[in-house]
């Protein structure tokens, strides 16, 4: 598999193309760090965008949920979809109001999803979802039963049409504004994990498992 994803008419960046990247490693790193994607699609003439969890396995993005889900049922019909993922790394504070912005890393994916109906594939996908939320968790919990598998739909979307867009660094002001007595710079933002809070119905004596006690955000 090539280290670069070939750009297409959909993924080629038209606005500030220098921020774009088709590097597969860069795209996959962003997908592996984030937790939520937004799925855009059309039902009839109505555009819809829905946030949902996901996982990446190899060169595919996996999405799952109730088999009754409007989004999944629409996607199962092989409609065109656009999936976006965004990580916010900082607030960029400029000298002028107009030049305030964000440092971010984002990915945009286009394609048509297909349903995973093979049971081993489906179970492997559900494991990937769990492990994406928190590594090593799958082996600590009860696996899905027959009824849960029946009522859950899993879709896979190829990452062959994807691109990243990234903004880093300091604010960029108009040259004359650098003489203003205004503070400018970046407030870095990170996602951090707090102390685990046990569910009130955890049985007495059950210890915090390693996947939880050793968890750290990427």
* Tens of pLDDT, residues 43-63: 888 999 999 999 999 999 999
* Cα angle 62-34-194, degrees, rounded to a multiple of 5: 125
How far CA 89 is from CA of 24, 85, 187, 191, in Å, comes to: 20, 13, 9, 9
Question: In this structure, what token pair is assigned to residue 176?
Answer: 């004359």
DSSP 8-state class, residue 23: B
Give me the mean pLDDT over the 80-105 stretch: 98
pLDDT at 218: 72
Q: CB burial class (10 A; 0-12, 13-18, 19+) of residue 76?
A: middle
For 4, phi then psi, to 5°, come to -120, 140
**Does residue 157 surpass a pLDDT of 80?**
yes
pTM recorded for the entire structure: 0.93
pLDDT at 121: 94
Q: Are 81 and 74 in contact (CB under 8 A)?
A: no
Instruction: Give dist(CA 20, CA 169) in Å, integer.
Output: 15
Give me the mean pLDDT over the 174-199 stretch: 96
Region 17-88+102-173: CATH code = 2.30.110.10
Max Cα separation, the chain? 68
Give me the mean pLDDT over the 80-100 stretch: 97
Where do the domains of the chain lie?
Answer: 17-88+102-173
The residues that bridge with 152 in the sheet, in sequence order, are 66
* Tens of pLDDT, residues 98-135: 999 999 999 999 999 999 989 999 999 999 999 999 99
Mean pLDDT taken over the chain = 94
Q: Are 113 and 153 in contact (CB under 8 A)?
A: no
DSSP 8-state class, residue 35: -
């Amino acid at each position: 598999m090539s280290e670069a994803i070939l750009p297409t008419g959909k993924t080629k960046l038209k606005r500030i193309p220098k921020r774009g990247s088709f590097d597969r490693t860069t795209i996959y790193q962003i997908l592996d760090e984030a937790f939520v994607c937004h799925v855009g699609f059309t039902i009839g003439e109505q555009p819809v965008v829905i946030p949902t969890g996901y996982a990446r396995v190899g060169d595919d993005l996996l999405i799952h949920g109730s088999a009754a889900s409007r989004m999944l049922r629409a996607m199962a019909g092989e409609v065109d979809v656009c999936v976006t993922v965004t990580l916010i790394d900082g607030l960029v504070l400029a000298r002028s109001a107009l030049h305030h912005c964000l440092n971010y890393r984002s990915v945009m994916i286009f394609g048509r999803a297909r349903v995973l109906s093979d049971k081993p594939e489906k179970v492997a996908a559900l494991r990937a979802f769990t492990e994406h939320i928190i590594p090593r968790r799958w082996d600590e919990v009860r696996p899905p039963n027959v009824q849960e598998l029946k009522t859950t739909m899993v879709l896979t979307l190829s990452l062959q049409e994807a691109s990243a867009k990234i903004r880093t660094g300091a604010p960029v002001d108009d040259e004359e504004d650098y003489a203003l007595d205004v503070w400018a710079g970046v407030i870095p933002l990170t996602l951090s994990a707090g102390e685990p809070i046990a569910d009130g119905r955890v049985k007495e004596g059950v210890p915090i498992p390693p996947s939880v006690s050793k968890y750290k955000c990427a």
